[in-house]
Structure 1
Amino acid sequence: MIYTVTFNPAVDYVIHLEDIELGAVNRTESEEIFFGGKGINVSTVLSNLGAENIALGFISGFTGKAIESGLNKNGIKTDFIELENGITRINVKIKSKEETDINGQGPVISHEAISGLLDKLKVLQRGDFLILAGSIPATMPDDIYEKIMERLKDSGSNIVVDATGDLLKNVLKYHPFLVKPNNHELGELFGIEINTEEEIIEYAGKLRQMGARNVLVSRAGDGAVLSAENGEVIKMGVPSGKVLNSVGAGDSMVAGFIFGYLQSGDYRDALKLGTACGSATAFSAGLAEKEKVEELMKIL
């Protein structure tokens, strides 16, 4: 089974208007609502591909109920912990001459709720996958990823970490199955600026030396590089297309990679499907759909 965790999900309210004037009444040209959060994005793409998975995390209030109901309607199983206080955050995305984001703070997550999540993770067993993705809300301990991985170190499960900075560095000692920085984030981990493919390969290798089993470095329009635990370095370009949306492309790549690996056990196949999923999201208004992914797989 594949599990995802989203600590701070959101209802993303996207509004489009030609221009915005502060201090005045502004009327939208169109509006969209998405259920956001990196783990939820991974769950959605997995479900679109036909991969059964369970979305875990914290929800609260009417917005939390909307996320849970919406995911269930889309065929995604959920096992959220419902908090007693506040509401799951609403993020307002203003698409105008300039893009502006107003992100909500989200509810306080109690120690009891964190303990409840750790208890739910006890079901993971050998061969299962757990995807930990995104930043940590201010009300949670900053070592929560470490606490989870410490609990699961003897379970035989495979943990994927899509995070940045110390949040990523501090879990390498637990040998995550996969980490997925982009090329800029990889450079930041080592306090340098990475400009070449050779540097990506070198520093992805360093992350493996520090404990990561596989390191997948996304490069936006320049494709991706995988430094695999079997010693292979696999490169993959991206198909040509018009980029409509960059939100969730990295999460889509993670979803495709894991599903591809589960299907074949081959890292090249996994990277190909991951790249197709990331590109399908980039070329779409929302997250990758199976039909678009299959179309791109034929030309990769």
Structure 2
Amino acid sequence: MAPAIPPELTFDLQNIHTALEYTVADQEALVNIIGRREYQQLVIIARQYKTSYGVDLAVELDKKIIGSLGSLLAGACQHKVLAEVQYLHKAGKSNRKYETLRKKDTAIEVFCEILVGRTSEEIAELKEAFTAVHKADLKEHVLSFCKVNETKAFFVAILEPKEEKPLENVDGAIEKLHKLLEAKDLNGSLQYVSSLTTAQLNTVIRTYNSLHHKAHVVTTIDKNIAPFHKGEVLDLLLYTVMQAGDPARHVALRFEESMEGVGTNEDHLSRLVIRNRGKFMEKVKAAYHMDYNRTLADRIRGDTSGLYSHLLCHLIHQTI
């Protein structure tokens, strides 16, 4: 027997249903309810909604409320793995009406964002969920978007199961990476970092950076490799080492990228909020404030508006 839903969540459940039953959904009520609940509470509400009303709450929200607000509300009520599976499946596509307003957020970048930095157990969970939901193989799906052999090899390595164990020779691993970077070997460097588990790569990159303060990994890539190589393969290498070096700071950078310039990429911004909710978001907000001298909420408020803006700030637990 499923555990009883707490009384306060029963009240939320009824109010969400009422808000969705109007001819025009009460968007403000939905933002106020969903935005103020923790992730685990929303998962419970969504599960009970299916039991009580026979429909998927995330699907209902996305159907009844058009555009970025609807997709953000829907994502907030999904289990994180299912939300990530949907992001992987629709990678490279936009929920927004005007495609010309989209900024750089390719399928390859979405795959990087969701798959890089995961444990073998998390990758296996994503693969299993992707097959269950979409009746398709995740690796085949990802590779269908890869036009460059090096990119295909990278994602094959990322999706391969790896034995989660500490590195036996950290100094040797650092020396190997250093030699590859000094030799300006882009493909060799990418192959090497993708061959390591996330924990192993984190150890290598952070130790490397502590030993080479003035020439850490990103600086070395910018100096030795970037002047001679451009494009997707270089981006994959930079993404991987930046994520390994400081995940919170890297996500803070991604937030800034989603809002910089003319027009905000709301698909990207929503995905970053949904994927990074919880304790980790506190580290992201601190890193963002340190790097850009303003709060993340202040940045969001300046680039978004209305209920969509309110919901984003609620979900990151921050107001100006």
**Fold agreement, TM-score > 0.5:** no
Q: Which has the higher helix share?
A: 2
TM-score by length of 2: 0.28
TM-score by length of 1: 0.29
